[in-house]
Structure 1
């Protein structure tokens, strides 16, 4: 016996129905008044279902839709033509999967969730999502799910970075060899503007123990240059209160967040960025400056990418590595726990923060120290 569930996809606990299921549907004719009532009820039902959907799912799907827009912007740079977001076809959906895999280096399970999120948000917006497009996207994803290296993406905790790691990232050669297996064997030279942006972003992110979302929302007005260094107003994100934190001059010019910020700020303004705008902006592969603020994902990728090209491949370095690194490095160098907690905006009883403190204090008065071993 055929049931309705045979025409439903189950992905990450959400039901996403295929509109082109091929099932016969009864056609009813209603008078204008009844049709208007039914239309209003359908609209109310859709709004109600959106409200009762878990908050995490709503925000996740909203972020998936933002990424769909970022993909279209990337596609426009490649083709010279801006396609509408409603252009959901076999071609665009398969290209979206490839972009998520190769450009964003997303894990296969994350890509699958992105497909579901874009499908859901597109239909909620009123766009048509052909069944052929979702099927093609999942066929393109299938071999990626069997790749062990791709499966390992996003697993485990982010590793803490140190000032030495930042130095390696900030002094890595601008000329980079092509990736293994790449079709084009040309060597890529990082534009100077992108290099200055990443130096400033990664060092300041470490110094304020910034989250990806917080660094994305920073504006020039949030960063004041003072005699001692920088006063940074880290904005409120997802209900977490804003905080004002000090950033002093560093001992090494290559990892000094103050000097790196000044160099990027001067270059950014010279490239045409309006003063008082977003602190960090995208820079494309040709060195052209974008005018929209760098996304949270872009913030995280900047650190991961810099670590990769600096040869720091033995650990999982992500956008969160700076937050963890400030605490562990700070405790090893005797910085007060309360100062570190306030710098990163952790709550007083945060188990994550106290775990980082324990990690930083691991070899302090160690059980095996000085006992005659």
Structure 2
């Protein structure tokens, strides 16, 4: 069984300032959420699938930190994602207006801003962040990679930072776990709280990461444009490449939402170009019958057909360019056939990453930020805010090791894709 216990800096002894609100309800430590709530009904009653539980997020009655004397810091790491500014704003507003924390720093350009060569942090306050909620990008800047962990913790201590909010993806969460381990080794009283960010939506124990709703909405626009372009040509093909290194959630969800995709290619479902059941043959059939087609591919799909070289600054293997490869192979194939043909290639990745968040994502970012501040003030650390079965939870970052969320080829989402596109379970 996975250990979902949450580390605590020490005894909580300061009253939560929320006590001034009439009939306010605090979250007790023993209130937890079942990891798998499904039951097996039997003649004698029912049996739970598991007894593993997650700690529920929310304000605690007693705090570890005296809020008015606390220094908080916020850092955004990794690639851009819709909603980063909304989370920054939510953290500042919660710290300032609810807890009375007046000392808030914004670390510039990711973990590098905490290194010895980092820029001076921004001093954050409600006036500075009040108007950024609907903006794309991040007020603080971001970067990939990180200096040595001891160097980062040295600077956390030099700057007298009591709590650090890390907004980032799986690589950033690994960095946050390393920071926490070093903090604990030094017996330092610094809370490290993660707010998981990735539009790939592939972080375990998080049903939906912020920015995913926006990414799907923007991806749908690209698919619909590809459909219009394809219909505007004789035997036209619209080819769209979307993000998704190891998980095809954006691609699959956008294809279903749009309803205009005819082929959806994911990292989780292998496919072939050649053969009677290969993509090229199926594309021929589609054009013969309907005279246009839309192909949507996730960036991590078909990596057996292309080969990336090296690693990026976050330690991820560089992917081969499946979009350009498909564009070339499809064009070559149909140029040899006695039929008119045209292809339009659309790759909206940076348009999606930098898009302003939808209202739905803005609300969700606010919720995540509030939960993160509650956890930090209560002296919790080495954890991130999760989203499980409709509730916000505390998830120890160590529980992520060796795990990843992915689209189940036998699950409901992939079934919905096939139902919408009409494509076979396997191509090849």
TM-score (ref. length: structure 1): 0.28
Greater per-residue strand proportion: 2
Identify which of structures 1 and 2 has the higher relative contact order when contacts are C-alpha pairs closer than 8 Å and 6+ apart.
Answer: 2
TM-score (ref. length: structure 2): 0.25
Greater per-residue helix proportion: 1
